[in-house]
Amino acid sequence: MNRVRVDPAAPDAAILARAAGILRGGGLVAFPTETVYGLGANALDPAAIARIYAAKGRPAYNPLIVHVPDSQRARALASDWPAAADLLAAAFWPGPLTLVVPRAPHVPDAVTAGRPNVALRVPAHPVAHALLVAADLPVAAPSANRSTEISPSTADHVAKSLGDRVDLILDGGATPVGIESTVVSLLEHVPVLLRPGTISLDQLRAVVGDVSTVQPRTAADEARLSPGMLDRHYAPRGRVVIAATADVRALLADAREGGARPGAIVHSREAVPDSIDAEVQRLPAEAGAYAAGLYAAMHALDDAACDPIVIERVPEGGAWAGVRDRLRRAAHAG
């Protein structure tokens, strides 16, 4: 496996040129964004896109997000660019926001799962941005992990999940945001929030006014409007149980009595005392810091073969919506 360290403060031009050459040649490069690590390929090369789907074991009805270095190059991939796109791009790009817009004719079906729309993002991470500039092409990049499993927030997570399926891993350290981007569809008159993230619904509405949260219904094998809409996603191998603070300790005790090796992710001291006999990952009680550490905590419990994984229910409120979405999908039994 090829893996090389890249300093986010000063990405090495020679390393980036090597990675860009791999992308231009139809290969796969895993790289850090501010959200999670992406598995990148030339978005205009159907054969390269097929390699992403094969490496991840990703269903063909789940489209990809295309990453570009600026708004101008995003517009070049759209057949229509609504006024709301300009407003949201000005407010949140570069950053953890994906916009779904009508696609340009040269965007291949392989990227969009055959739909007439494309998901676009301008990442803020300096390594991602430098790679996109060096490659000088749009890069499709879902999370760099096997489909439905825990997303990667470090290069170690990528290597563990994908191994030699990747031609090159750019190791830029831990990703600062930690969960995937907020996704907004601009295909209708009123924008629709398709996937919550760290950019909240209130922040979106402050920029464009009304934003709907009513998501379109799709059949099980029907192409999704965007990534992140599968019922089961972001999931460890062990069964995930979401529990009220007062119930976490008892669930862990019951699991131990039944011969299991339970683990827990908590954000309050009262959920699990230090003396309890279980693998416990403690995360901050602030939404942004919790999100930044969530996948690393899941990976740690996965590595410890914990089953079940009891996760203390997080607070209500818009700031926690992205985290709640990830936990709900991780706990989905389907």
Residue 220 has pLDDT above 80, yes or no: no
| pLDDT tens for each residue of 108-141 | 999 999 999 999 999 999 999 999 999 999 999 9
Buried b (16+ CB within 10 A) or exposed e, 173-197: ebbbbbbbbbbbbbbeeebbbbbbb
> What's the pLDDT at 155?
98
pLDDT tens digits, one per residue of 170-190: 999 999 999 999 999 999 999
Residue 314: its pLDDT value, please? 98
pTM for this prediction: 0.95
Classified by CATH at the fold level, domain 3-208 comes out as DHBP synthase (3.90.870)
Q: Quick check: 166 pLDDT over 60? A: yes
Residue in the structure block whose two tokens are 């817009």? 101
Residue 1 reports pLDDT greater than 70: no
Task: Give the confidence band of 164 by pLDDT, cuts at 50, 70, 90.
Answer: very high
Q: What is the pLDDT of residue 120?
A: 98
Encoding tokens for residue 112?
A: 């969009």
pLDDT at 334: 54
**What is the distance between the alpha carbons of residues 42 and 46, in angstroms, rounded to a whole number?**
8
Task: Please check the confidence at residue 158 and state whether its pLDDT lies above 80.
Answer: yes
Give the gyration radius of the chain's Cα atoms: 20
Mean pLDDT value across the chain:
95
What percent of the chain has pLDDT above 70? 99
The predicted pLDDT at position 252 comes to 95
Q: How confident is the model at residue 85 (pLDDT cuts 50, 70, 90)?
A: very high
Beta carbons within 10 angstroms of residue 116's beta carbon: 12
* 269 contact partners, CB below 8 Å, separation of at least 6: none
Q: Where are the domains of the chain?
A: 3-208, 240-331
The secondary structure of 10-45 as a DSSP string is S--HHHHHHHHHHHHTT--EEEE-SSSEEEEEETT-
pLDDT band at 333 (very low <50, low <70, confident <90, very high): low
